[in-house]
Amino acid sequence: MHVHILGICGTFMAGIAAIAREAGHRVTGSDRGVYPPMSDQLAALGIAVTEGYESAQLEPRPDVVVVGNVMSRGMPVVEALLDRGIRYESGPAWLAREVLRDRHVIAVAGTHGKTTTTSLAAWMLMHAGQDPGFLIGGVTPDLGVSARLGSGAAFVIEADEYDTAFFDKGAKFLHYRPRTLVINNLEYDHADIYPDLASIQRQFHQLVRTVPGSGLIIHRAGEASIAEVLARGCWTPVTTFASRTAARADWTGLATDSGYRLLEGERAAGATAWQMAGEHNAENVTAALLAARAAGVEVPVALAAVARFRGVKRRLELLGAWGGVSLYDDFAHHPTAIARTLAAVRATLRPRRVLVVTEPRSNTMKLGAHREALATALAGADASWVLDQPGLAWDLASTLAGVRSAVVCPDTAAIIAGVVQECRSGDAVVVMSNGGFANIRADLAAALAARANARA
């Protein structure tokens, strides 16, 4: 079968392409501004990618066109697709029909931690010899790729609530029909499609309705927004996790000076060294461990996998150190994630100071839904630089005026100059963004290296 994918360089759609190719289909696709790392992954798989969205790419006629949610009416290829009556469906619908129907689906949902938790669960299953399938919104060195078909019974998927396609405005995760569902946390996000938290909670309850009574729902303890969802009706056994013993949870994962420690109730259930940091990652590990356990992985095996797990790219990833200044890259773009990453850096890495570089890039941030929370989160840094970019629907400078350590900058050159002037040996500099950020990571690394060499 010839499968043509529109918007193929997005992480999710590139994953669909990899799985379709592994399943034996002929796969082609298109995107605008074809870019790595997914373009590199597609090239390695031998998948031809067309630049742009012109109608000529539908010749020869594909058997099915898989439509990404970046596509909209009016695009030439979309209009041609509809006019010619070519079969089409969304990525989640194709995946559900072709791959997930006969698998033990482990879906990892929530506002934060999805990529790390999904990666960990897949890694634990691999470590147990189960050869799982997976589709993840990021790349970990241990798994090597963002998606695999796998031959085992389990399929682990990062399940987000963003809408599915121009013809399907429901959440993507409603297609997955999980047997094991993880809800890491639940906050307001995606202000471009959801007016409030209640509208997101409705989507999550629709997801809860699809989990069978013989399955399992795993969720963070003590989170009112999740409790409200489950109070609307839950027909599946539930188990809870936390990262502090103060929270009443069935399982607790503790980030300690020596590594990670697991409690079942108040009983010690195991411990391991790990290569991550912070309470938020203790929660991610615990959620993943419980999900893997539901698929037959024993706790000691899962803990052994944690010890070998090297993390996920762009999740507090160390890029290098120059002149005693360490530079980290983190995907945090929601105020809660920024605050939790800062706490992890202070508690685990114990730098002299934490300096933060960020941009309000997500649609939610651009619309101003979290502007006050951003100010609160950045107040936890010793110094911060924030990019004032076009497209913001609010005044960044006035919002951050009360944060003495925050500097609003017109471009990345001003940010780099400020960081280089301010940083000292022993500091940690953390770049926080969910986008390319105008190549600031490489440019900042080069500037720190040049400063160190000049002082040598």
Do the domains spanning 2-93 and 102-308 agree at the CATH topology level?
no
According to DSSP, residue 346 is labeled I
**pLDDT for the residue 362:** 65
In angstroms, the CA 179 to CA 210 distance is: 8
Q: From the CB of residue 231, how many other CB atoms can be counted at a distance below 10 Å?
A: 10
pLDDT computed for residue 13 by the predictor: 93
- If one compares 206 and 448, the residue with the highest pLDDT of the two is 206
User: Rounded CA gap, 102 and 160, in Å?
Assistant: 21
pLDDT score, position 411? 87
Is the pLDDT at 303 greater than 70, yes or no?
yes
Residue with tokens 């925050």: 406
pLDDT attached to residue 381: 84
Where are any strands of DSSP class E within 243-284? 251-256, 259-264, 267-272
The pairs formed by 39-42 with CB atoms below 8 angstroms and a separation of 24 or more are: 39/9, 41/14, 41/145, 41/146, 42/8, 42/9, 42/14, 42/17, 42/18
Q: Place 240 in a pLDDT band, splitting at 50, 70 and 90.
A: very high
Predicted structure pTM score: 0.81
3-state SS class at 395: coil
Predicted local distance difference test score (pLDDT) of residue 5:
97
Determine what percent of the chain is predicted with pLDDT higher than 90.
53
Q: How far apart are the first and last CA of the chain?
A: 60
Residues 167-186 have pLDDT tens digits of 999 999 999 999 999 999 89
Report which secondary-structure segment, H or E, holds 116.
Answer: helix 114-127
pLDDT of residue 313: 60
Architecture of domain 317-455: Alpha-Beta Complex (3.90)
CATH code of the domain occupying 2-93: 3.40.50.720
Q: Which of 141-145, 388-392, 421-425 has the highest mean pLDDT?
A: 421-425
C-alpha torsion sign, points 338, 115, 363, 175: negative
pLDDT of residue 87: 98
pLDDT one-digit tens code per residue, 310-340: 766 666 788 888 988 889 888 766 777 788 7
| Core vs surface per residue 74-106: b (16+ CB within 10 A) or e | ebebbebbeeeeeebbbbbbbbbebbbeebbbb
**Higher pLDDT among residues 210 and 311, named by residue:** 210
Q: Average pLDDT, stretch 65-77?
A: 96
List, for residues 242-274, the tens digit of each pLDDT value. Answer: 987 667 899 999 988 788 999 999 999 999 998
Domain ranges of the chain: 2-93, 102-308, 317-455
Q: What is the mean pLDDT of residues 296-310?
A: 94
Residue 252 pairs in a beta bridge with 242, 263
In this prediction, residue 203 carries a pLDDT of: 95
What is the reported pLDDT for 380? 80
DSSP one-letter string for 49-111: EEES--GGGG-SPPSEEEE-TT--TT-HHHHHHHHTT--EEEHHHHHIIIIITTSEEEEEESS
- Model confidence pLDDT, tens digit, residues 7-58: 998 889 999 999 999 999 999 999 987 766 677 778 888 998 999 999 999 9
Write down the CATH number for the domain with range 102-308.
3.40.1190.10
Q: Is the pLDDT higher at 239 or at 259?
A: 239
Q: Give the C-alpha distances (Å, rounded to integers) separating 451 from 159, 351, 367.
A: 43, 19, 37
Which range has highest mean pLDDT (89-98, 192-201, 301-310)? 89-98
Q: What is the pLDDT of residue 39?
A: 75
d(CA 63, CA 1): 6
The phi, psi pair for 308, rounded to 5°, reads -95, -5
